[in-house]
Amino acid sequence: MKLRRIVLRLTTPSRHGDDEIVVLTNLRTKDANAQQVMQLYRERWQVERLFLTVTQNFEGEINTLAYPKAALFSFALAIVAYNLLATLRYALASVHGVGKIDASLSDFYVVDEIHSTYRGMMIAIPPTAWLCFGELALPDFASLLQDLAQKVHLTRFLKQPRTEKKKKPPLVKDPKHPHVSTAKLLFGG
């Protein structure tokens, strides 16, 4: 097998301290130049992010589904739910800015809010009230989503900043008070 090695030297190191990205590919030069290969690699992360979100938020893989068709159906529903989340994210980004949404919006908190609100909405709002949304033209629907996105308080859905893990102090052994197991205490040992 013939492979090409493409090296992208970064002007600033990545968050892990890497100053270059190396990609091995079996694509021939006439099929894709180095820049195209690196662009494809970059876009690959969008797909991986999709699967991570589906796995974490939509339970796309339910272990108790014994039938392959049931598992496939469950996964397909999770992908549909992800498409709805992506539509919501793009509506929010069009109003609040792409950088702000990508950097700080928590998919978990958004999905949790929708999950907890959905049942109540379905009880309080009759099915006929939802029909008007199916009749909207695409530009009108996009405009409605943007109007609704302006009313969203993003502070409720922000990612929690990661804090540094605190190091545990080393355990101090006291020879005068050695550890005694519960079993020894119970059996008089």
Q: Mean pLDDT over residues 18-33, rounded? A: 90
Q: Mean pLDDT over residues 163-168, rounded? A: 85
Residue scoring higher pLDDT (134 or 66): 134
Residue 189 pLDDT grade (very low, low, confident, very high; cuts 50, 70, 90): low
Name the residue type at position 176. K
Burial of residue 142, with CB atoms counted within 10 A of its CB: 0-12 exposed, 13-18 middle, 19 or more buried? middle
Burial of residue 75, with CB atoms counted within 10 A of its CB: 0-12 exposed, 13-18 middle, 19 or more buried? middle
Q: Mean pLDDT over residues 162-177, rounded? A: 82
> Residue 4's closest CA among 19, 31, 30, 23?
23
Q: For the ranges 28-32, 76-80, 124-128, 169-173, which has the lowest average pLDDT? A: 169-173
How many helices (H) and strands (E) in the chain?
A: 7, 2
Does the structure show a pLDDT above 80 at 16?
yes
